[in-house]
Amino acid sequence: MKHWMSMRRMAIGAVANSTFPLPTPLLSSKPAHLTIPFSFSLTKTSPFPISALTRPRCFLSASSLAADHHNLSDFGCLFDAGDGDSVAISSKGSKMLLKGMTYPELEKWVQSHGYRPGQAMMLWKRMYGNNIWAHHIDELEGLNKDFKKMLNENAEFKALALKEICTASDGTRKILFTLDDGLVIETVVIPCDRGRTTVMGLRRHLTAAEIVEQAVFARRLLTDEVGSITNVVFMGMGEPLHNIDNVIKAADIMVEEQGLHFSPRKVTISTSGLVPQLKRFLHESNCALAVSLNATTDEVRNWIMPINRKYKLDLLLQTLREELCFKNNYKVLFEYVMLEGINDSDGDAERLIELVKGIPCKINLISFNPHSGSFFRPTKEERMIEFRNTLAGAGLTVFLRLSRGDDQMAACGQLGKPGTIQVPLLRVPEQFQMAIESSA
């Protein structure tokens, strides 16, 4: 198996956010790669790793937050799933937004205009395959003249507008896009990742077309420079499974063999643990799943991930045990952001071993990204190695992830524009008061 650290990845966001702060968890619900609620990875080995939710290989990440559209110099990654309309209509008018359709939907739409299914396949390949990634009618070489005329009159190809591309000192690329409503989202090709969630309020979910278009743009803009983008992670500041209809639909479009043709096992959805949606995802999709665990007790997880107050560890993990019994050769990835003095003790390592028993899984240990406004500190590298060795000694598959792209706010969990108002911090459990005070 190829080590994740040697792969390029892309992270994609699924929700759009504004800068109005909401009481979000202190830790992002992303996997170790797309920051997003979403991320993308490349299968090809890179001279530097890229990472997302997500997260040290060459990684293309699109966060789930959107920056305030009044300040386009700031970054906001949004990747939220919308209401899951079966067909998307461009906001520019009555034209059909093609990127919002699965192939069966596109085929029916083409036939409704009097053309053969074969024409739909030729169109699909020019939008997503053959190294064309068409954004304009002039790029549809080889199609019937009348068919192209019909498309010009009735179809819209682009769901996003390119704003700018920024490059960090370590080679991380951040691509900024503008949506039709003025919100800004970003996709990041990043060397690696650690967890941090920028405080931003939810604006809206992204449509399937806006999600898919990030992958198309990334391949179109960067394939020649960084190599083939082969891995995708839905991650970032949002929770992808809140947008489950559009996330599942976008993932289906990405894995279509005649199109973008991502492997289902290399398209990862990251979640903080929404149990009902998690079950639905495992029933309806063959794509990979990453769960942000980050603690080994309900007390600690209630504190750093408030979603645990609704879906406790026992419920989350038992659900995974039961559901994965019905999936062949399938492993969930547990993301574990390590916080010094909070979740990195020998006892935590031993409890983690017990918690995941009976669950086909891999564990990703992630170094926390310290940032202004947080009282957490990253676990020292030596301690992370000891923690990893304890898990590996029990027979678990474990990865270590370090961070890159910090100077462009593009490391795992760093996508999005920081909010201007400090969200009230959750009460610190008494046994961790000393650890927190020593980091002040």
| Domains 160-282 and 293-439 equal at CATH topology level | yes
Residue 156 has pLDDT above 80, yes or no: yes
Sketch the domain layout of the chain as residue ranges: 96-156, 160-282, 293-439
What's the mean pLDDT in 47-72?
34
Q: Average per-residue pLDDT in the chain?
A: 75
Residue 198 has pLDDT above 90, yes or no: no
- Secondary structure of the chain in HEC code, one letter for each residue: CCCHHHEEEEEECEEEEECCCCCCCCCCCCCCCCCCEEEEEEEEECCCCCCCCCCCCEEEEECECCECCCCCCCCCCEECECCCCCCCECCCCCCEEHHHCCHHHHHHHHHHCCCCHHHHHHHHHHHHCCCCCCCCHHHCCCCCHHHHHHHHHHEECCCCEEEEEEECCCCCEEEEEECCCCCEEEEEEECCCCCCCCCCEEEEEECHHHHHHHHHHHHHHHHHHHCCCCEEEEECCCCHHHHHHHHHHHHHHHHCCCCCCCCHHHEEEEECCCHHHHHHHHHHCCCEEEEECCCCCHHHHHHHCHHHHCCCHHHHHHHHHHHHCCCCCCCEEEEEEEECCCCCCHHHHHHHHHHCCCCCEEEEEEECCCCCCCCCCECCHHHHHHHHHHHHHCCCEEEEECCCCHHHCCCCCCCCCCCCCCCCCCCCCHHHHHHHHHCC
Report pLDDT for 80: 30
186 is an active site residue: yes
Classify domain 293-439 at the CATH topology level: TIM Barrel (3.20.20)
More confident residue, 200 or 80: 200
* pLDDT tens-digit map of 296-314: 999 999 999 999 999 999 9
If one looks up domain 96-156 in CATH, what number appears?
A: 1.10.150.530
More confident residue, 312 or 23: 312
Least confident of 40-54, 84-98, 278-292, 322-336: 40-54
412 is an active site residue: yes
Band of pLDDT at residue 166, cut at 50, 70 and 90:
confident
Report pLDDT for 232: 87
If one looks up domain 160-282 in CATH, what number appears?
A: 3.20.20.70
Residue 402 has pLDDT above 70, yes or no: no
Q: Which of 186, 210, 213, 323 is catalytic?
A: 186
For the chain, what percent of residues have pLDDT higher than 90?
49
Q: Which of 58, 77, 192, 412 is catalytic?
A: 412
pTM: 0.75
